[in-house]
């Protein structure tokens, strides 16, 4: 079984992943992974929880196989959009090894393009939970992450210059930038 939590930044994807983790009783049968390239913080973290969860840092999905133990029943992967590799490794772990895999990752880049291996991960998922954030400008539900950086200082920017936008505000932003 593979379940994927996806959506834009600030949508609470990682909180949903961690809620699943914290609700599970037998942590000894769980392995957690995250990409090595993310140096922001150690482990899997969400603003909603004070506690973070230790994760093994990997570059490629095939690295997971090195850490598998006989008793591994459940795998958690955070920020999967930054990972490389063949998603067949995950579907084989689910089918052949009977392991449940919970994955979190951004579905789109801040240019609204499919992010890395996420399209393939979504294709092999049994369940997909798409979270929404709220638009930085109009408070509607937002599906998009947008890089604002220093372009428009009157808008409140979040982590490293990224904001959430709805379709309407994204369209206005694109039109403005075309001028
Ligand atoms: Zn909006």
For the chain, give the number of residues: 179
Average pLDDT, the chain: 92
pLDDT of residue 179: 73
The residue written with tokens 């196989």 in the block is: 65
DSSP-derived secondary structure for 125-140: -SEEEE--EE-TTT-S
For residue 9, how far is its CA from the centre of ligand 1 (angstroms)? Answer: 15
Closest residue by Cα to residue 105 from 90, 89, 122, 92: 122
pLDDT of residue 22: 96
Closest residue by Cα to residue 10 from 40, 47, 53: 47
Strands 74-77 and 30-35: parallel
Q: Are residues 54 and 69 in the same domain?
A: yes
For residue 137, how far is its CA from the centre of ligand 1 (angstroms)? Answer: 5
Which residues participate in catalysis according to the annotation? 79
For residue 158, how far is its CA from the centre of ligand 1 (angstroms)? Answer: 15
Q: Which domain holds residue 172?
A: 134-178
The token pair that represents 61 in the structure block: 């999905």
The token pair that represents 104 in the structure block: 């979190």
Q: Are residues 96 and 58 in the same domain?
A: yes
pLDDT of residue 47: 85
Q: Are residues 110 and 127 in the same domain?
A: yes
**pLDDT tens for residues 64-117?**
999 999 999 999 999 999 999 999 999 999 999 999 999 999 999 999 999 999
pLDDT of residue 38: 52
Ion ligand 1 contact residues with beta carbon within 5 A:
135, 137-138, 140, 166, 169
Q: Are residues 121 and 148 in the same domain?
A: no
The token pair that represents 128 in the structure block: 């997909």
Given a contact cutoff of 8 angstroms between Cβ atoms, the answer to whether 137 and 169 are in contact is yes
Q: Are residues 50 and 95 in the same domain?
A: yes
**pLDDT tens for residues 34-65?**
999 756 667 898 888 889 899 999 999 999 99
pLDDT of residue 178: 80
Q: How many domains does the chain have?
A: 2
Closest residue by Cα to residue 148 from 168, 167, 165: 165
Distances in Å between the Cα of 55 and the Cα atoms of 2, 21, 30, 108 are 18, 12, 10, 23
């Amino acid at each position: 079984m593979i379940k994927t939590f996806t959506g834009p930044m600030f949508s609470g994807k990682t909180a949903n992943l961690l809620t699943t983790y914290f609700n599970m009783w037998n942590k000894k049968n769980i392995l957690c992974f995250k990409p090595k390239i993310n140096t922001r913080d150690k482990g899997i973290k969400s603003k909603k929880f004070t506690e973070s969860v230790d994760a093994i840092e990997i570059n490629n999905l095939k690295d997971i196989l090195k850490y598998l133990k006989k008793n591994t029943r459940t795998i958690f992967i955070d920020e999967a959009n930054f990972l490389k590799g063949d998603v067949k490794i995950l579907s084989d772990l689910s089918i052949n090894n009977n392991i449940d895999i919970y994955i979190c990752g951004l579905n789109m880049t801040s240019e609204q393009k499919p992010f890395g291996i996420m399209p393939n991960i979504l294709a092999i998922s049994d369940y997909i939970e798409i979270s929404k954030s709220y638009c930085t400008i109009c408070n509607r539900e937002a599906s998009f992450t947008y890089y604002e950086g220093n372009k428009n200082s009157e808008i409140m920017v979040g982590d490293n210059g990224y904001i959430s936008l709805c379709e309407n505000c994204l369209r206005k932003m694109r039109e403005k930038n075309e001028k």
